[in-house]
Structure 1
Amino acid sequence: MELGAELDPRNVLAALVAVVSRRSLQEKIQVSGQVAMELDLTADPTFAELSARVHALVGERFTVRVDGMELTATDSGTALGSEAGDDPGRIAGQVRRALADGLHEPSRRISVLELASDTDRALVAAFEGSGTAPAPARCVHDLVDERARRTPDAPAVGTGAEEITYGQLVDRADQLAARLAHAGAGPGHVVGVLGERSPETIISLLAVLKAGAAYLALAPEWPDARLAALLGDASVEVVLAPGEFAGRIPGGLTVVPVDTSAEVRGAGPGPLPAGLTPGHLAYVSYTSGSTGEPKGVCVPHAAVSRLVSSPDWTVFGPTDVFLQVSPVSFDASVLEIWAPLCNGGRVVLLPPGRVDVDRMGEVIRTAGVTHLWLTAGLFHQMVDHQLGRLGGVRHLFAGGDVVSPQAVARLLAAHPGMSFTNGYGPTENTTFTACATFRDPPPPGPVPIGRPISGTRVKVLDAEGKTVPPGVVGELHAAGAGLALGYLGRPAATADRFVPDPDGASPGARLYRTGDLVRWRSDGMLDFCGRADSQVKINGYRVEPDEIATVLAAHPEIRSAAVVDEPGSGSGKQLVGYVVPVRSSSDAPPPGDLRGWLRDRLPEYLVPARIVTLAELPLTLNGKVARDALPQARTAARSVPNDYVAPRLPVERLLCRLWSETLNIEKIGIDDDFFELGGHSLIAADLLARLQNEYGIEIPARMLYLSPTVGELAELEELAPLRARLG
């Protein structure tokens, strides 16, 4: 495509380099052909600075290639063509606009050069969604009550051993709500709910909403320090907890026992608050905080209603059977619990404890699960190890991280007629912001995160808040009925992330800056391109490494710390901590002690798989931690407190080798606990799959939880054939 003879081709090349960087997120651009060079854009140069570099290195006549685009400058003019199937016309238009903006204002940084035309802006506006909910907003408990009035005898919540109907669910929640009101809970209050996956926990959540309060779901596996910190931060005064967990609640708080038996329920419900609106707070969900402090996201009833009432991206109804897999403290549970209960469906609860794919596959089959939400890591494991058990599922949702297109293709090829949704969404926009749904295997390439769902409007903007055209990376901003109210008790953090929406339909409309980088496809789908900050996803959980580093650095024997993510087992990621001790490296606390320090203060998913001691943390010229310079050895030292005991038997040596390779740890002893070494359910599935695929030994996942050391595992009856074979 001809760009014109009047243009200085070196300025055109500078504009092309800027456009390629904006489209690809590359900071070092390779130029090849008659001129070979690398242009480093890490410092985000101005157009004038970039153009000056190009002028110093390139003459007026040349043919060069940049990321599949060929730029030719001759006496007759400058032309741009594509070697890689890209649309040269669209890219040429972006180059023209970048060049015009850069020449008009040479001091502009290349990250904010104008690339969008009026046509681009009109096209993107059609992709962005309306932000209007598909149905009038309702309170969550009103939606459940309505279903209970229609079908009181329909099953609502079940475990296999226990089943409660909609009538029983609402009746017990009413009774418990009255007890909460008597304890002082009501509108404007946050009530803690501490419990595992159980009917009582579901009843508790509904009771809190009926009392007019908001629930803060707490996980029993969290350390006491974490529970106390969140309860204090949310100003919780009343906590619902079963008897076995009541002793973990800090003194001074009112503990209402979760006992919904007839003997405790009493004569009838007391008066419940009137005047509740969908704008009232429904729940508070804490996310990992970049400042080292977790932030409570405040989600109103209207945002949940927008997610579960008459969505345009799926259909929820009375025949749906959802499996609740997620911890209630994780916002995926909002979909798992309230989508079925607000639409007359049924919730099946995975038994409490660690999630293992064997048990989950069996529950899916026996309970007739039709709808299943899985984090990306768990989705990959289910496809690898339980694909046949997914045959009855009508709609499978996955998200929380990048999903494998090969896994999606395997799933849909094995189960024709199933719908698969790749769902994307931060907690601040209530579980899902955009979704891509497939009934046939998606085309090759990354699986998109889709289009904005009903009730959501999104914008993709550059650093100056300007719309970027399709193909160019920008930060995703979300608006609409799913938006949270903000962060509990943190007005500054709220103002930083929830910014004014200049295109909002009503006064005070806001946009949530997600910190996620995306690009529009030409068909209106969004591609996920990574994080604008250091936030990462580990096993589906949103993690701010700086929060963990802050806790590590608070250890009395640690001077400074950093935490990064790196590739872990299979396709997943793992966290790695780096610490500098107060004294010498030889006096540093053992890694196992530091991981124990973290376990006492943070949930397990925030504890790094390994911790490395350094003399100093590498720093950039600006004094920040140079994360790229941190050593990333593929194996780590043992980080458990027990003494090393070497394997003696052939089967023990084999298992130690497999554990070492799967966990990326250099030396495993027969008394080392798999989970204390950093293992979790997804890594366990990989390990057991290797035993089955390479040695024909099939061990249920629960056996690893019961026998978590090499020595114990080697003695299992299931390994008798392997012991006999090895001698």
Structure 2
Amino acid sequence: MSAFQISGMRTLGDAFGATANRFPDRVAVRCGDRSLTYRELDEASARWAAVMRREGCAGRPVAILLDRSENMIVAALAAMRAGAWYVPLDPESPPARLALILADVEPAMLVTSGRLARTAPASVPVTFVEELAEAPAPDPAEAYEIAESDYAYAIFTSGTTGRPKGVAITHANAIGLFTAADQVYDLGPDDVWTMTHSFAFDYSVWEIWGALLSGGCVVVVSSEIARNPAALRQLLQDERVTLLCQTPTAFSRLITEEERHTDRLPLRWLIVAGEELRFAVCRRWFAKYGDDEPVLLNMYGITETTVHTTYHQVRRADLEQTGSIIGRALPGQGFRLLDSELAPVPVGEVGEIVVTGSGVAPGYLNRPELTAQRFVELPTADGGTEPGYRSGDLARQRPDGSLVYLGRADDQVKIRGHRIELGEIQSVLSAVPGVVAAAVIVRGTEAAANPVVKSRHTHTEIRHVRDLLRGGARRAADTPGRIVAYIVRGDDFDTDQAFAALRERLPGYMQPAFVLPIDEIPMNGNGKLDKARLPAPSSGGYLRPSARPSDGEDSGGALTRVLGGLFQEVLGIDGVAEDDSFFTVGGDSILALDLCAAAEQRGIVLELADVYQLQTPRALAEVARSGEERAGVEPFSQISAADRALLPTAGVEDAYPLALLQAGVLFHSAFGAENNVYCDVFRFRLSAPFDRAALETALARAVARHDILRTSFHFSGFSQPLQVVHDSGTAELTVLDISDLDAGRQDAALDEWLDHEKSTPYDWNRPALMRFTAHLLGNGEFVLWMCFHDALLDGWSESAVLSEILTDYWAIANGSMRPEAPRPTRRFADFVALEQAAVRDEDIIKFWTAELADARPMSLPRLADGPREADADRIGFLSVEIGPELSERLEETAAARNASLKHVLLAAHTRVQAVLNSRDEVLIGVESNGRAEGQGATEVLGTHLNVVPYRLRTQGVSWGGLIDAVWAKERELLPYRRFPYAEVGRLMGTSEVSDILFNFTHFHGYAALAGTGIRVVDAEGYNQTNLTLRVEFNKDPFTDVLSLDVEADLDRVTEPQLRMIAELYGNALASLAADVNAIPSQHDLLIEYYYSPCT
């Protein structure tokens, strides 16, 4: 039986009336604890419609400005039944924008509330919703004849001139949409829909009337819940929602939340539309739900073509497809792919989507010139014509008839589901006093300039266009481009006035992420904007308002400002804007944990995954929630009662299993051929007076504060290897005075000591696997050695504990001992518990099984030929200075792509490894931080590391596309980052997933030393691993200059080849910084160093 029994219906009002007669006592609308049955909605809308008819609304627009509630739906239905057409308005829009819309439509009535009426111009006739609610029953004789060609509603979208444009949709358009839906969907009166989108967004048309014309129930969702994935998911469960509509951005956030739950949602249908869906994000959804139920539909449509035009059911097989498949036209709808002269393009070639069929609107309200540009008449086979709408969207048609979406052809973009004309933003800026000229673009995408080519062009030219678009499709799966505005300033320009104009005239989603002052707007030979010559935003080159807006002016709200302040606090910078990405203004994985902890101290819960996905104060404010401090694991809760009984009754604070990385390195160290493997030695030559008592006190304080410095390791005696935390411990300190030696003999003594230290084993059963030595050099200098086993500390912990010790040392030596810092609220035991949980998590295991299906382990080809020299060190080490200029350019590249410096460097690493291994697809190990979240997380010492395999393709991908792919991959893998590397190997059936390791470090904790009188003259580190190649980039905490450390197994790589590899990295970085749009696989830059792997 048809769910939408609307055959022969002429209007939405008629169709609703038929549904109300079929299901009078079913609930039609729910909003919180309020609800309306179909009968109640029918009667209320009839009363309101009678008032509207008496006020002369028939044939005219009725504007509706209400908070989300059932009253919006009553008012909209009443307007249509009165013979009027409704114009939905968003209360969150700036008053200036609302005024432009109201002036354009000249409504016969504005239905609003007492609170919101203040935002309406005085000339608009206002009717309060409270008055309509008290209207008497209508007189049946007041019925008004409504034609199917009459308008049903009008939606306003962004306009190029700064004036929003209204799209009027007829009853026939809307009836056509739901008639088509009846042939695609299996819907009925038992379905529960949600209205999660703004009433002024055309998605709401589908959400409201799709439910009410099929006998279902529509749940009106508050904007606060709609923007909070956790709250939305709870609502979906509580209301037993079966059909949910989401933009891809919102869908990605919901997936992240969904991964925290084991129960299943009751959804039957999940519809994703409003912007491009990149199918990679669906992988995580399918890992839990599969691809049968709920049915996942990717739908394409435009306000001008009545919400939806095409549909495609997304399946697992689509995850490997390039581009976003938007499918076939709905029944009664159609499309053509045309070139710039409206000539058809061949199947497989790129063209503009021109929509035909029942959904095409009559045109724009009061905009005849624009209507003539976009709404065209197309010839038909019978010699006639049919109306079409030029979408400005690019696509190609697959052999099966479906479409693949390829991006925008003009300056109209979609960001977070909102249609935006960049010209509207440019118009607002141009009207600001003191702005001589302005230009607005979107950065972070790779859309080709004017990519629609005529069909007579050669196949090679068209393929080049398609390759450019494919590069753009590889950008981050759920991170939209960023709006960047450029202005030429005159003498009377005022920065604060410009930002005030943007806030007053534009909604939040249209605010530029950056406003950059430039000397002139660059033009090309045709007199058009030359986008390639516009500079990328840099950390200090863009304008900021001098003060934060007040509560009444801040479109982001109080929480947005609080989070912006936390960004500034954690990053140590000023002027963070609402749409600044945490990672492009200095954030990294450690600082992201600090941000979550700082928020938690203020009673705000931020999930680490949300920081990675959403990144900006504005976006994070939408999902942040209040909550309690996260609780850690209880002592001894991770071991059996039998093992607990074997431990001493006194002197032990906790015991728990080894982290798997700890177990691995301890095993290799204890039972390997060379027992110094994984022993780390760091040497710091310090210019400062030496005070043994002060250093011993500082060391004792560090041991007392940190569990791991009081930990012993036990391979036997218990049911499993354990680490035992003692309630006390001592840091071993040896002081050697070599001040009587000359400089040459001092160096020799230090080298001799180092050789001995490297071969000195640790006693696992004593806390801790760490010792310190000071060599006194005289002249106010000494060398401090910090030696520890790699199972004890990761790189961040090493920098943190040394900074803590030296800062304490300086204060104690100068008679100003600081109060003893409390122990961190989190412990290394928390990380171990999280790792153990990951090992047992079936969803994580399924993810990695799918992620690495058919993946080939990657081992660096053997480059070294001939026997190893008997006295050669096993590990070759080469340090490369990248230099300040290239470092800065790489930072700017990262900021322009809304990525972090790590992603830029990892993109270069990925391409170099593709060349060295002669592989298109690479599988590389990336050191990852798996620390527990919460207060004190970054203060916890330990080995919170894991190696996470990244599987990436590089052939035919631009540098920018590769950066975006790396960034997207990191976000995709974030929920699964704690699954141990050894377990990944077991899933793949190999002991070596990859013997190539990438790491990026920025130990900004060292910057604390700048506040002391200690000067680090130089520093060196010695550590040994069993990897073939380890590539580590480091950002200096004092200069921000990058360096590159390359370590290689000299059994596999000769020293000249090691230098060649380092040069490859240098060439890759230079190429990337010079042209982020270059496709490295098409150039000789990286392959000019030819080699033949040895057999």
TM-score, normalization by structure 2: 0.48
Distance 1:697 1:601, change over 3 A: closer
Matches within 5 A, 1:274-313: 274-309=144-179, 311=181, 312-313=183-184
Report the 3-state secondary structure (helix = DSSP H, G, I; strand = E; otherwise coil) of the residue aligned with 1:289: coil
Report the 3-state secondary structure (helix = DSSP H, G, I; strand = E; otherwise coil) of the residue aligned with 2:324: coil
Matches within 5 A, 1:315-394: 315-353=186-224, 355-387=227-259, 388=261, 391-394=265-268
Partner of 1:496: 373
Unaligned runs of 5+ in 2: 446-475, 550-562, 631-824, 827-933, 940-1095
**Counterpart code for 1:287:** T
**Which of 480, 492, 502 is the equivalent residue of 2:357?**
480
**Counterpart code for 1:381:** R
Distance 1:661 1:631, change over 3 A: farther
Structure 2 residue 436 is matched with structure 1 residue 546: no
Partner of 1:718: 629
- Asked if the contact 1:658–1:687 (Cα under 8 Å) also holds between the matched residues in 2, the reply is no
Structure 2 residue 63 is matched with structure 1 residue 192: yes
**Counterpart code for 1:625:** L
Aligned residues: 568
Report the 3-state secondary structure (helix = DSSP H, G, I; strand = E; otherwise coil) of the residue aligned with 1:449: strand
- Asked if the contact 1:290–1:547 (Cα under 8 Å) also holds between the matched residues in 2, the reply is yes
Give me the whole-angstrom Cα distance separating, in 1, the residues matched to 2:590 and 2:388: 45
Partner of 1:524: 401
Partner of 1:450: 327
Alpha-carbon shift at residue 276 of structure 1 (Å): 0.8
Report the 3-state secondary structure (helix = DSSP H, G, I; strand = E; otherwise coil) of the residue aligned with 2:145: coil
Structure 2 residue 269 is matched with structure 1 residue 395: yes
Distance 1:599 1:572, change over 3 A: same
**Counterpart code for 2:32:** G
Give me the whole-angstrom Cα distance separating, in 1, the residues matched to 2:566 and 2:136: 57
- Asked if the contact 1:175–1:270 (Cα under 8 Å) also holds between the matched residues in 2, the reply is no
Alpha-carbon shift at residue 659 of structure 1 (Å): 3.5
**Which of 429, 434, 444 is the equivalent residue of 2:305?**
429
Give me the whole-angstrom Cα distance separating, in 2, the residues matched to 1:661 and 1:398: 37
Alpha-carbon shift at residue 578 of structure 1 (Å): 1.2
Report the 3-state secondary structure (helix = DSSP H, G, I; strand = E; otherwise coil) of the residue aligned with 1:555: coil
Structure 2 residue 442 is matched with structure 1 residue 572: no
- Asked if the contact 1:135–1:306 (Cα under 8 Å) also holds between the matched residues in 2, the reply is no
Distance 1:522 1:156, change over 3 A: same
- Asked if the contact 2:51–2:132 (Cα under 8 Å) also holds between the matched residues in 1, the reply is no
Distance 1:487 1:706, change over 3 A: closer
Report the 3-state secondary structure (helix = DSSP H, G, I; strand = E; otherwise coil) of the residue aligned with 2:505: coil
Distance 1:315 1:277, change over 3 A: farther
Give me the whole-angstrom Cα distance separating, in 2, the residues matched to 1:660 and 1:631: 25
Report the 3-state secondary structure (helix = DSSP H, G, I; strand = E; otherwise coil) of the residue aligned with 1:478: strand
Give me the whole-angstrom Cα distance separating, in 2, the residues matched to 1:205 and 1:328: 10
Cα RMSD for the two superposed structures: 3.7
Partner of 1:62: none
Alpha-carbon shift at residue 638 of structure 1 (Å): 7.0
Structure 2 residue 408 is matched with structure 1 residue 408: no
Report the 3-state secondary structure (helix = DSSP H, G, I; strand = E; otherwise coil) of the residue aligned with 1:337: helix
Partner of 2:121: 250
Partner of 1:166: 38
Partner of 1:7: none
Distance 1:192 1:581, change over 3 A: same
Alpha-carbon shift at residue 313 of structure 1 (Å): 2.8
**Which of 217, 221, 244 is the equivalent residue of 2:92?**
221
Q: Deviations over 1:593-625 (max 9, x none)?
A: 423211211222111122112222222222222
- Asked if the contact 2:9–2:15 (Cα under 8 Å) also holds between the matched residues in 1, the reply is no
- Asked if the contact 1:461–1:476 (Cα under 8 Å) also holds between the matched residues in 2, the reply is yes
Alpha-carbon shift at residue 725 of structure 1 (Å): 5.4
Partner of 1:212: 83
- Asked if the contact 1:504–1:510 (Cα under 8 Å) also holds between the matched residues in 2, the reply is no
- Asked if the contact 2:76–2:86 (Cα under 8 Å) also holds between the matched residues in 1, the reply is yes
Distance 1:725 1:470, change over 3 A: closer
Give me the whole-angstrom Cα distance separating, in 1, the residues matched to 2:148 and 2:620: 51
Alpha-carbon shift at residue 507 of structure 1 (Å): 6.1
Alpha-carbon shift at residue 718 of structure 1 (Å): 3.2
Structure 2 residue 12 is matched with structure 1 residue 140: yes
Give me the whole-angstrom Cα distance separating, in 2, the residues matched to 1:358 and 1:689: 24
Between stretches 498-507 and 311-320, larger displacement belongs to 498-507
Partner of 2:511: 607
Structure 2 residue 529 is matched with structure 1 residue 639: no
Report the 3-state secondary structure (helix = DSSP H, G, I; strand = E; otherwise coil) of the residue aligned with 2:115: helix
Alpha-carbon shift at residue 258 of structure 1 (Å): 1.1
- Asked if the contact 1:134–1:454 (Cα under 8 Å) also holds between the matched residues in 2, the reply is no
Partner of 2:1034: none
Q: Deviations over 1:160-208 (max 9, x none)?
A: 3111111111111111111111222012x11111112210111111111
Give me the whole-angstrom Cα distance separating, in 1, the residues matched to 2:590 and 2:359: 41
Give me the whole-angstrom Cα distance separating, in 2, the residues matched to 1:135 and 1:546: 42
Give me the whole-angstrom Cα distance separating, in 2, the residues matched to 1:305 and 1:524: 25
- Asked if the contact 2:488–2:521 (Cα under 8 Å) also holds between the matched residues in 1, the reply is yes
Give me the whole-angstrom Cα distance separating, in 2, the residues matched to 1:456 and 1:327: 25
Matches within 5 A, 1:1-12: none
Give me the whole-angstrom Cα distance separating, in 2, the residues matched to 1:714 and 1:345: 31
Give me the whole-angstrom Cα distance separating, in 1, the residues matched to 2:102 and 2:118: 14
Report the 3-state secondary structure (helix = DSSP H, G, I; strand = E; otherwise coil) of the residue aligned with 1:259: helix
Alpha-carbon shift at residue 134 of structure 1 (Å): 9.9
Alpha-carbon shift at residue 361 of structure 1 (Å): 1.6
TM-score, normalization by structure 1: 0.71
- Asked if the contact 1:691–1:697 (Cα under 8 Å) also holds between the matched residues in 2, the reply is no
Report the 3-state secondary structure (helix = DSSP H, G, I; strand = E; otherwise coil) of the residue aligned with 1:524: coil
**Counterpart code for 1:639:** R
**Counterpart code for 1:209:** M
Distance 1:134 1:165, change over 3 A: closer
Distance 1:211 1:661, change over 3 A: farther
Q: Whose RCO is larger (CA < 8 A, sep 6+)?
A: 1
Partner of 1:581: 489
Distance 1:434 1:690, change over 3 A: farther
Q: Deviations over 1:643-689 (max 9, x none)?
A: 89xxxxxxxxxx88983799xxx8644xx7874x5589xx9xx9999
**Counterpart code for 1:299:** I
- Asked if the contact 1:358–1:701 (Cα under 8 Å) also holds between the matched residues in 2, the reply is no
Give me the whole-angstrom Cα distance separating, in 2, the residues matched to 1:576 and 1:396: 33
Distance 1:158 1:716, change over 3 A: closer
Partner of 1:119: none
- Asked if the contact 1:620–1:626 (Cα under 8 Å) also holds between the matched residues in 2, the reply is yes
Report the 3-state secondary structure (helix = DSSP H, G, I; strand = E; otherwise coil) of the residue aligned with 2:320: coil
- Asked if the contact 1:674–1:709 (Cα under 8 Å) also holds between the matched residues in 2, the reply is no
Distance 1:508 1:209, change over 3 A: farther
- Asked if the contact 1:397–1:420 (Cα under 8 Å) also holds between the matched residues in 2, the reply is yes
Distance 1:714 1:335, change over 3 A: closer
Partner of 2:52: 180
Give me the whole-angstrom Cα distance separating, in 2, the residues matched to 1:495 and 1:190: 23
- Asked if the contact 1:289–1:295 (Cα under 8 Å) also holds between the matched residues in 2, the reply is yes
